[in-house]
Every structure is written in structure tokens, then in C-alpha cells.
């Protein structure tokens, strides 16, 4: 079982907001974001492996990581950690090198919850609405196969009740 | 009218082509004429018209009978039925956090 991801894409504002809870203490969830080896293990997406070139998760630090699939095509990402307060806040820039100069500002807030759980609240701020749409649209490029899989599920649910 | 399965198949086939995905991405920002659509892509008006016919028969776009201009409109409802862009983003993000859950479970065991 996994916790639900709450996602919102406000109309007319170049943001994406999200919220997700974890059944683990805030320190561990933060560490999985801050430690390069752990980060590389989950940042995904599935089917791509991640090689971290540089990852200094502290105020003023920089990062660059490269993802590649079986086809050998590489996707590189880089940015700067503006403010990092352990187990509380990461404020950073993020850029896909394939779209040079389209830099998003990412904020992630980590919040302690009772019972050794925590909540992560994030916002991605895009330089323009157009940039946000482009990011979302290009997500579809690789999404056709998964789209089919989802479609199969959808159709399976919609078997006529006759 | 074709049944739902057939329409969905057509829509996916239509979107399997990168040029048509670019046209759809452009139309997501507002209606455009064939001329306007041909401009940014290094393809002829005839090629764009063909792509639009394919998208139209898949129900992804519509053309208004606006005499000369005949702008092409995206049919967002149809697109959302397939796998909307935001859903795709959501899928990636959800998969990512499920991986994070898995990583957290292993680090927990090591301690």
C-alpha cells in the first residue's frame, strides 16, 4: 500500500504543487533526498538508471546527474541548492539540459507527523506557463506505452454491465 | 460513429507520430490554421493537412467552418480520455515516490 500523491496544476499560474506523506520519520525521508547514492536509487523514472556526477545537498551546493536507458540515450539535469535546512527545507533550481535556460525553482518542505511519519510538500515554479505545458507535453513522448497499459486497465474496468 | 475501442485505437495510433504530437502540443495553447501549424515545423502544408485529417478522424481535433480560416481546435476531452499530460506527470511522480518508499524500507532495515 502506498500513500496518495496530491497534485495540482493551477490554471493560469506556472506552478505544479504536490503533497505526499511517508510512513517514515522526517530525518530518513530527508536523507533519501540529500544522500547522492540513495537519491539515485529512487529518482527514476523506471527503465532509466541514474548516474550522479555531483550532488552537494547543502546551501550553495550544486548537482548534476545523468539518466540513460537501454537505448543509450542520455538525459542530463543540473541545478543549484539555494537553501538546505536538514529535515526541513530544500530550495533549489532544476534544469533539464535538453531545454537549456528553462530553469524551474523547486521547493520541498519536510514536516514531522506523529507516529514516525512525515509529509513532503513541494512546488515547482516554471519560468512561464508555456514552459510548464512543454514539460508536461513532452512527458507524453515516452508515455505512449504506459498509456496503453493504463488504457487496458481502464477498458477492463469498463466492461459493459450486460 | 465508431465505437469507443476503435476511437481509442485511432487516437493512440495518431499520437504515435512525433509530428502529430507536436501539432497537438501546439494546439494545446490555442486554435491555429494549417498555415500557422506548418510554419514552425519544416513540413509542407499538405503534410500538415494529412496529419490533421488523421487527428480529426481520431477525434483529437476539430475544424470549424470559418470560411477561409478554418482553424483547427484541440478536443481536450478526447485527449484526457487517453492519458492526459498531467496524468503522465502524476504517474512518473507516483512511481518515483513508490521507489522512495522502497528505498526507505531498505535503509530502515539496515539500521
pLDDT at A54: 97
Domains contained in chain A, CATH given: 5-158 (3.30.530.20)
Q: How far apart are CA A129 and CA A52, in angstroms?
A: 30
Quick: pLDDT tens for B37-52: 888 777 788 899 999 9
Q: A140, A142, A149: best mutation site toward chain B, by most B Cβ within 10 Å?
A: A140
pLDDT in tens, chain B (111 residues): 445 556 667 777 787 787 888 888 788 778 888 888 888 777 788 899 999 999 998 888 988 776 567 889 888 777 666 655 566 677 778 888 888 998 999 886 655
Three-state DSSP class for residue A72: coil
Nearest chain B CA: its distance from A133 CA (Å): 8
| DSSP bridge pairs for A16 | A124
CB contact B2 to A (< 8 Å): no
Three-state DSSP class for residue B63: strand
pLDDT at A58: 98
Cβ–Cβ gap A32/B103 under 8 Å: yes
Contact call for residues A110 and A88 (beta carbons, < 8 A): yes
Tell me the CA distances in angstroms from A74 to A42, A70, A77, B100, one per residue in order. Answer: 17, 10, 10, 22
Three-state DSSP class for residue A84: strand
Contact call for residues A53 and A74 (beta carbons, < 8 A): no
- Kindly list the domain boundaries of chain B, sorted by start residue: 1-108
Q: ipTM of this model?
A: 0.72
Nearest chain B CA: its distance from A53 CA (Å): 20
CB contact B110 to A (< 8 Å): no
The CATH number that domain B1-108 falls under is 1.10.10.10
CA angle A5, A127, A146 (to 5 degrees): 40
Q: How far apart are CA B90 and CA B93, in angstroms?
A: 5
Close Cβ partners of B90 (under 8 Å, ≥ 6 residues apart): A5, A7
- Pick from B89, B90, B95: which is nearest to A44 by CB? B95
Q: How far apart are CA B67 and CA B58, in angstroms?
A: 23
pLDDT along chain A (162 residues), means of 10: 79 90 92 92 81 97 93 91 98 92 96 95 92 70 42 39 37
Amino acid at each position: 500500500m502506498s500513500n496518495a500523491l496530491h497534485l495540482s496544476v493551477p490554471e493560469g499560474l506556472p506552478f505544479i504543487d504536490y503533497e505526499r506523506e511517508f510512513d517514515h520519520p522526517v530525518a530518513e525521508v530527508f536523507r533519501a533526498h540529500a544522500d547522492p547514492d540513495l537519491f539515485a536509487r529512487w529518482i527514476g523514472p523506471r527503465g532509466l538508471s541514474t548516474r550522479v556526477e555531483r550532488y552537494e545537498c547543502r546551501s550553495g551546493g550544486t548537482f548534476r546527474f545523468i539518466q540513460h536507458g537501454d537505448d543509450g540515450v542520455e538525459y542530463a539535469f543540473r541545478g543549484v541548492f539555494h537553501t538546505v535546512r536538514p529535515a526541513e527545507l530544500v530550495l533549489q533550481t532544476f534544469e533539464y539540459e535538453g531545454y537549456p535556460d528553462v530553469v524551474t525553482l523547486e521547493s520541498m518542505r519536510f514536516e514531522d507527523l506523529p507516529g514516525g511519519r512525515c509529509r513532503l510538500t513541494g512546488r515547482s515554479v516554471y519560468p512561464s506557463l508555456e514552459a510548464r505545458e512543454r514539460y508536461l507535453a513532452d512527458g507524453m513522448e515516452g508515455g505512449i506505452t504506459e498509456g496503453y497499459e493504463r488504457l487496458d486497465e481502464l477498458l477492463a474496468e469498463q466492461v459493459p454491465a450486460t | 460513429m465508431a465505437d469507443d475501442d476503435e476511437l481509442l485505437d485511432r487516437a493512440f495510433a495518431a499520437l504515435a507520430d512525433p509530428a502529430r504530437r507536436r501539432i497537438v502540443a501546439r494546439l494545446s495553447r490555442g486554435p491555429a490554421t494549417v498555415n500557422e501549424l506548418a510554419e514552425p515545423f519544416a513540413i509542407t502544408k499538405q503534410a500538415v493537412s494529412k496529419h490533421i485529417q488523421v487527428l480529426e478522424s481520431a477525434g483529437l481535433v476539430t475544424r470549424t467552418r470559418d470560411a477561409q480560416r478554418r482553424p483547427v481546435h484541440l478536443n481536450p476531452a478526447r485527449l484526457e480520455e487517453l492519458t492526459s499530460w498531467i496524468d503522465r506527470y502524476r504517474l512518473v511522480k507516483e512511481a518515483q515516490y513508490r521507489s522512495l518508499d522502497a528505498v526507505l524500507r531498505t535503509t530502515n532495515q539496515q539500521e
